[in-house]
Chains A and B, each alone.
Chain A
Amino acid sequence: MKTDDLIEALARGAGPADKQHWRRDLALTLLVGLVVSAVLVVVFLQVRPDIGAARMPVMMKAMFSALAAAVILPFALQLMKPGRPLGWRIGAVLVFAGVCVLATVVALMGEMPERRWEAWMGGRGGVPWCVVLIPILAAPTAALLTWFMRAFAPTRITLTGAAIGAVSGGIAAMAYAMYCPTDSVAFVTTWYTLAIAVCAALGAVIGSKFLRW
C-alpha cells in the first residue's frame, strides 16, 4: 500500500477526536485498586486486633502511604502522554525520599540505644514483612493502572512501569496499614519506602512488558 493511500484512508471520516475523561477514569482506577487491596488485607492478613486503640498510628501510616502515592502520581501521569519532560516531578520524588531518610535518622536518634534495633526492624520477630506483602497487595492496582495508561501512548515504558509500580505500592501500603503491627516512625519511613521501591523495580521489569503498544 502506498503511504499516500494510507493517509487518505486514515483521514477519511476521521471526525473530531473523542473527549477524554481521564481524571474520572484515573480516580476510579485508584479507588478500585485501594478497595481490592483493603479486601485482600481483611481476608488474608486480618485487621490488627487493637485497631480501635491504634486508630491514630494506623491513620498516620495510611497518610504517609497516601502522601507517597500522591508525590509519585504526577511523575507517572507525565509519562502517560509522549514528549513531555519530567521536570520538577523527579525532584518531588527525590525530596520525598530524602525526607524519609532524614526522618528515619532523627527518629532513631530519639530512641534509647538499646531500643533502636527494635524500632527500626519492627517488634515481631524483627522481619519487615511489608517489603514482601505490600508488592503483592499492589499487584491489582498496578494491573488496573497499566491498563489505564496503555490506552494513552506511553513511550518510555520502563520508567512508566516503575512509576505505576510505585503509585500502586503507595495505594497498597494504605491498605496494609490496617494490618501492620509496628507503629515506630523509623520502621515506616524505612520499610514502607523500601516496599514502594520494590514495587517500582517490579513495575520496571514486569509492568513494562504489558505497557507495549
Chain B
Amino acid sequence: MADETALRALLLQGLAGDEAAHRAFLTEAAALLRAYFRNRLRGRPEDAEDLVQETLVALHTRRESYDPNYPLTAWLYAIARYRLIDFLRRAKHRAHAPLDGLDVGDIDPDYEATDAKHDIGVLLGKLPEKQRIAIRMVKLEEKSVRETADATGLSESDIKISIHRGLKTLMRLMAEEQVS
C-alpha cells in the first residue's frame, strides 16, 4: 500500500492532468477506504463498499479541495469520515420508519460481498439528459470529450462541466439510495 508521500504525488500528478496517476491514486485510495469503512461497519461489507464508491466519487469530484500544504491522508480521511457520518445520520432517520413489510430475506445468493449495491445505470437515468449523455459517452462508452462534443453538438467545456455536475449529483443519489 502506498504511503502518504507516494499517494500525494499521485493525486498532484492527477490534478495536473495525468490520467494514469489519477487512476492509480483512486485505486490506492479505494484500498485505504475499504479498510476504514469495514473497520467501522463490521459485518456490513456491502454498506462499506457502497461507502467506498460514494467516497471515491467525492474524492474525484472534489479533488480541487485538496490543499497541498497539508497532509493528503488528513484530507482523504476527513472526507471519508464525513461520508460515514452522513450515512449513519441517514440510517438513523430510516430506523424510525416502520419495518413492516420490508423484505429482508430477498438477497441474491450469488451476491459478491465486494460488490456494491448501486446500479449506476439506474442512477444515471435520474440525471438531466445532458449530464446523463455526457457521462455515458465519456465515462462508460470510452469516447473522448472531443468525440462526445462533436456527436452532441455541445462544446467541449460544456461536456466537461456536465460530467462534473453529473458526478456530484450521482454521489448524492448513491448516498440517498443506500438508505432508502
User: A-side interface residues toward B, CB under 8 Å?
Assistant: 1-4, 6-18, 20, 80-85, 152-153, 155, 212-213
State whether the Cβ of B39 lies closer than 8 Å to any Cβ in chain A: no
Nearest chain B CB to A202 CB, angstrom units: 21
Separation in Å of the A135 CB from the closest CB of chain B? 27
> DSSP majority for the B interface?
helix
Which chain A residues border B63 with CB–CB below 8 Å? 17
Indicate whether A83 sits within 8 Å of B74 (C-beta atoms), given known contacts A6-B120, A7-B56.
yes
With an 8 A cutoff between CB atoms, is B140 at the interface? yes
User: For the complex, what is the distance from the CA of A10 to the CA of B172, rounded to whole Å?
Assistant: 16
Whether A11 contacts B78 in the complex (CB less than 8 A), given A17-B64, A81-B67, comes out as no
In whole angstroms, how far apart are the Cα atoms of A152 and B168 in the complex?
A: 12
Q: How many residues of B sit at the interface, in one of the four size bands?
A: 35 or more
CA distance A12 to B167 in the complex (A): 13
**Assembly CA distance A8 to B26 (angstroms):** 9
Interface residues of B in 82-121 (CB under 8 A from A): 82, 86, 114-116, 118-120
Residues of B within 8 A of A12 (CB): 19, 138-139, 142
Chain B residues near A83 (CB, 8 Å)? 67, 70-71, 73-79
Q: Whose C-beta in chain A lies nearest to the C-beta of B123?
A: A1
Chain A contacts for B23, CB-based, 8 A? 7-8, 11
How many residue pairs, one in A and one in B, have C-beta atoms under 8 Å apart? 112
Contacts A2-B115, A13-B139 known; A82 to B22 CB distance under 8 Å?
no
Please classify the interface of chain A as helix (H, G, I), strand (E, B), loop, or mixed, using the class held by over half of its residues: loop
- The answer to whether residues A16 and B145 also contact, given A3-B114, A9-B140, A84-B74 and a CB cut-off of 8 A, is no
Complex CA distance for A132 and B167, rounded to whole angstroms: 41
Q: Can you list 26 A-B contacts (CB < 8 A)?
A: A3-B52, A3-B53, A3-B116, A6-B120, A8-B23, A10-B139, A11-B14, A11-B19, A11-B20, A11-B22, A11-B23, A12-B142, A13-B139, A14-B60, A15-B19, A16-B15, A16-B16, A17-B63, A18-B64, A82-B75, A82-B78, A82-B82, A83-B75, A152-B65, A153-B58, A213-B168
B82 CB to closest chain A CB (Å) equals: 4
Known: A81-B67, A82-B75, A82-B78. A14 touches B19 (CB 8 A): yes
CB–CB A1/B17 < 8 A? no
Which residues of the partner chain B approach A1 to less than 8 Å between Cβ atoms?
53, 115-116, 118-120
- Asked whether A153 and B70 contact (CB < 8 A) given A7-B23, A14-B60, the answer is no
Contacts of A14 in B (CB 8 A): 14, 19, 22, 60
Nearest CB to that of A82 among chain B residues?
B78
Question: With a CB–CB cut-off of 8 A, which chain A residues contact B17?
Answer: 15-16
